[in-house]
Structure 1
Amino acid sequence: MTKFALIFYPFAKALTLKIMVVIFWISLFVVFYNYIGYGILLYLLVKGKNFFASRETPASTAIEPAVTLVIAAYNEAGFIAAKIRNTFELDYPQDKLELICITDGSTDQTPDILRNYPRVKLLHEVQRNGKTAALNRAMQHVTTPLVIFCDANTLLNREAIRNIVKHYADETVGGVAGEKKIIRSDNENTAGAGEGIYWKYESFLKRLDADWYTVVGAAGELFSIRTALFQPVEKEVILDDFIISLRINERGYRIAYAPDAYAMETPSSDIREEHKRKVRISAGGFQAIVKLKALLNIFRYPKLSFQYISHRVLRWTLSPLSLLLLLLTNIILVQETAAWWWYGCLVAQLLFYIAAFTGFVLAEKQIKNRLFQIPFYFLFMNIAVYQGFFRYLKGNQSAAWEKSKRR
């Protein structure tokens, strides 16, 4: 070994270890911030905002504007009658509530069942072009100032429409996001339990998001917009609800949150159905990041970009990558140093992955265990992001309805 090599090798090794340490801590910060830290920071920001806000109680603003409820249905013959009955029971004047059901591509009896309800305006085409194309077509028939979108496999609470429209008394509100609730049962599987916990956490973050500035991406199960703000969405778009609501944000309007207006649905029938849904959403997330690239400019949209990047973009990009880097750098640091800290971190990570794998085995056997379902579902979501990313790169994720089997 040359004299130069003798001098350079220790320096290079020390530099490499320092880089590994930096990558480890940055990765840990990204994962912590995205899933826990952002919620804590947002909570503090909301508390600070409320402390300096006016203490006056806002006047009651009960309004009853004309509303159109648009229901997208694909092969929902087994549930659509219950959905229509639920819709007829909503507490809102019938003369101010128009109903549109769009069933493009359905090959079962869904359109025939809907023809039995004269009050429902049925839009049906044999060709299946996807939900985005269907919504674009449905919007051509909407004449009311407000429109509410909801899925055919959900049930709404009786006061849902009233609790949504009241937010439009504020002229800065361009849309309203309702809440998604998973109907849980004592014998639900691990997929259902994990999905339920995830949506409870998401609802908590949405409430904070709305209190700070705006909800970042409405869920298609139940959301509303001002009809005049609707822009036709490209037919290849996978996450139509996400794109529609954030483009309204982009125009300077807020998306309010109505936790007292909720859509209830059963969880995925099993872990494979939930996996199919998560991969599709992840592919759509990468597509949305590209189409909404203007929102990454924090100087142009200070509040919105901060929320969008912290809540959504990190979850679809750096967080899954950081999980992998955390493990790889930790292994290298254990091999190259004798510090007990790195051994402890690696043991903690391995225990987490063992717990997640145990949760996977139990999910495969349809056995629910609360101790393992959280690490399993967390890792399950992040693996789906990797799969969604490669599906997006290949361009083989269709925007057509991907109906998941529900319990």
Structure 2
Amino acid sequence: MRKETLSYRIEQRKSLVKWGEVIGILSIFLLLPPFIGIPIIISFLATKTNATKTQYYTYFACIAAYIGAVNATKSPGGDQIQYYVAYMNVPDVGFWKSLVHIYGLGYFKDPTKVTISGEFMNGIYNYLGYYLTLGYYPLFIAIYSFSEIMLVLMGVYHFSTKLKKPHKPLICGVIVLCFFYLYFNLMLQIQKQFFGQAIMMYVLGYYARYGKMTTKLYILVAISVFTHAANLLFIPFLLIKKLRGNLSKQALMFMSMMFVTLIILGPRIAGSLSVENGGVLSYGVSRLADSDGLADNAGSLTFLHPRTLIILLPLLYVLYKKLWRERKALNSTEMFILNIQLLLILAVFAMFNQPLAQYRYFMMTYFFVPFFLPYISSQVQKRDNILVLIAGLSLSTFYVFFEHIIWQYAPVFDIIIKSPILLVFGDYYKI
């Protein structure tokens, strides 16, 4: 045990990030036009034969900052209006009411409400963010989006350290996720769900690498759950040690069947529990108990829709290939992440009577894109060539179809020509 703890501490020291270097390069990137800055930062990392953690994090920060700047030009619409109003309400409602009314319009419907929301962390983000950004909403969105993406990518980095030649998968995985239409389109619409899961993805990636839950990780898990209750699903994965082991086919099938059964019976079990409505600890249980038949405007998930096929078919192929045919070749880090992906997909299928929950949990699979891309092929050279092709396709289609997004952003010409700083302070968003 002492040897494991010592090796863990040594590895931690070796992986320290030179944040001064990251901030310095990021500052220059923020001043460059994207058509210059993005190719430079990609080339900066792609040409490194033995890239350091600092160089990877610099790359992550630049791409995340760019996506954050593009998001900052979005005019609030759809569900985002609730989050926008909550942010703008901060100086009027104060700290406590910010925790109560995480959906801003709710304050005007019932200003006397005093029970804090079960997802109160969103109120904290709004309160701190409002004063940090001096009430300038686009800057808040830029920082918020940047933080979300960085959390996911840092989780991907920890996971990728245990892969065979992870350099190209890291470079391409970042591009595929950040310029992935389905992910980008929803970042500000289901804002708290995506941010909560981003926190959880960091925890999953870190735990997958080290197999150790630290105090910091437990705190992050709590923050994730109080950002969005749906992340309760991931907590058992962090507690079941066998998920980091090489499970037999029989054990894998048994665990899968038990998990599916629990998901199907979940609303009934939650409904039988005695909880007080509105309490922080009871919030997730109450939502689960009320989830049967609940749908939103998106309706139930259609598995023949292109968005599901784009995600599910490659993911199911990778899971079958790795967990069923090649599982003995996997290390504990890979086994853990792939087992979680399998259980998440099974949960989505099992939620056939919970259309809203089914659709929301399906969207969680978007975050796993950079985690399963390295398994596109077992041959490293072939894998890298395919990933470069997919990354190039993701990057190009992002701009080709950008103005077809139903939400209003800056013109595509501007997000190519204008620097991230100019995008954030360009006064594009309209109410």
* Greater fraction of residues in helix: 2
* Greater fraction of residues in strand: 1
Higher relative contact order (CA 8 A, sep 6+): 2
